[in-house]
Structure 1
Amino acid sequence: MKLTINHKSQVPLHLQAEELVRKLINDPQFKDGKLLPNEVELARQLGISRTTLRQALNKLVYEGLLIRKKGVGTKVADMPVSSKSNNWLSFSQEMQARGIAIKNFELHVSWVYPDDKIAAFFEISTDQKILKLERLRGRMEGPFVYFVSYFHPRIGLTGEEEFRRPLYEILEADHHVIAQLSKEEISAKAADKFIAAKLEIEPDSPILFRKRFVFDQSDKPIEYNLGYYKADSFVYTVESRKE
Structure 2
Amino acid sequence: MKLSIDHKSYVPLHLQAEQLLRNLIADPQYANGKFLPNEVDLAKQLAISRTTLRQALNKLVYEGLLIRKKGIGTRVAAGSISSKSNNWLSFSQEMQARGIPIKNFELHVSWVNPDEQVADFFGIGTDKKILKLERLRGKPEGPFVYFISYFHPRVELTGEEDFKRPLYEILEKDLYIIATLSQEEITAQAATKFIADKLEIEPGSPVLFRKRHVFDQGDRPIEYNLGYYRADSFVYTVESRRE
Match of 2:210 in 1: 210
Match of 1:105 in 2: 105
CA distance in 1, matches of 2:153, 2:241: 37
Match of 1:219 in 2: 219
- Secondary structure in 2 aligned to 1:171? helix
Describe the superposition over 1:50-84 as per-residue Cα deviations: whole angstroms up to 9, x where unpaired.
xxxxxxxxxxxxxxxxxxxxxxxxxxxxxxxxxxx
CA distance in 1, matches of 2:97, 2:165: 14
1:242, distance to aligned residue in structure 2 (A) = 3.3
CA distance in 2, matches of 1:163, 1:240: 30
CA distance in 2, matches of 1:147, 1:240: 24
Match of 2:239 in 1: 239
Describe the superposition over 1:184-236 as per-residue Cα deviations: whole angstroms up to 9, x where unpaired.
00000100000000000000000000000000000000000000000001111
Match of 1:51 in 2: none
Match of 1:175 in 2: 175
- Secondary structure in 1 aligned to 2:170? helix
Preserved contact between residue 207 and residue 229 of structure 2 (Cα < 8 Å): yes
Preserved contact between residue 87 and residue 238 of structure 2 (Cα < 8 Å): no
1:96, distance to aligned residue in structure 2 (A) = 1.7
1:238, distance to aligned residue in structure 2 (A) = 2.0
Describe the superposition over 1:161-204 as per-residue Cα deviations: whole angstroms up to 9, x where unpaired.
00000000000001000000000000001000000000000000
Task: Report the number of matched residues.
Answer: 159
The one-letter code matched in structure 2 to 1:212 is R
Q: Does 1:184 align with 2:184?
A: yes
CA distance in 2, matches of 1:239, 1:124: 33
Unaligned runs of 5+ residues in structure 1 are: 1-84
1:99, distance to aligned residue in structure 2 (A) = 1.8
Preserved contact between residue 87 and residue 239 of structure 2 (Cα < 8 Å): no
Match of 2:230 in 1: 230
Give the TM-score normalised by the residue count of structure 2: 0.64
- Secondary structure in 1 aligned to 2:195? helix
Describe the superposition over 1:9-35 as per-residue Cα deviations: whole angstroms up to 9, x where unpaired.
xxxxxxxxxxxxxxxxxxxxxxxxxxx
The one-letter code matched in structure 2 to 1:182 is S
Match of 1:116 in 2: 116
CA distance in 2, matches of 1:238, 1:111: 33
The one-letter code matched in structure 2 to 1:210 is R
- Secondary structure in 1 aligned to 2:235? strand
CA distance in 2, matches of 1:98, 1:207: 20
Match of 2:148 in 1: 148
1:92, distance to aligned residue in structure 2 (A) = 1.1
Q: Please list, as runs of the form range in 1=range in 2, the aligned pairs for 1:9-28 lying within 5 A after superposition.
A: none
The one-letter code matched in structure 1 to 2:130 is I
- Secondary structure in 2 aligned to 1:234? coil
Q: Please list, as runs of the form range in 1=range in 2, the aligned pairs for 1:53-202 lying within 5 A after superposition.
A: 85-202=85-202
Match of 2:82 in 1: none
1:89, distance to aligned residue in structure 2 (A) = 1.7
1:241, distance to aligned residue in structure 2 (A) = 3.2
CA distance in 2, matches of 1:186, 1:171: 24
Describe the superposition over 1:86-142 as per-residue Cα deviations: whole angstroms up to 9, x where unpaired.
311211122122221000000000000000000000001110000000000000000
- Secondary structure in 1 aligned to 2:214? strand
CA distance in 1, matches of 2:86, 2:228: 20
* Larger Cα-atom Rg: 1
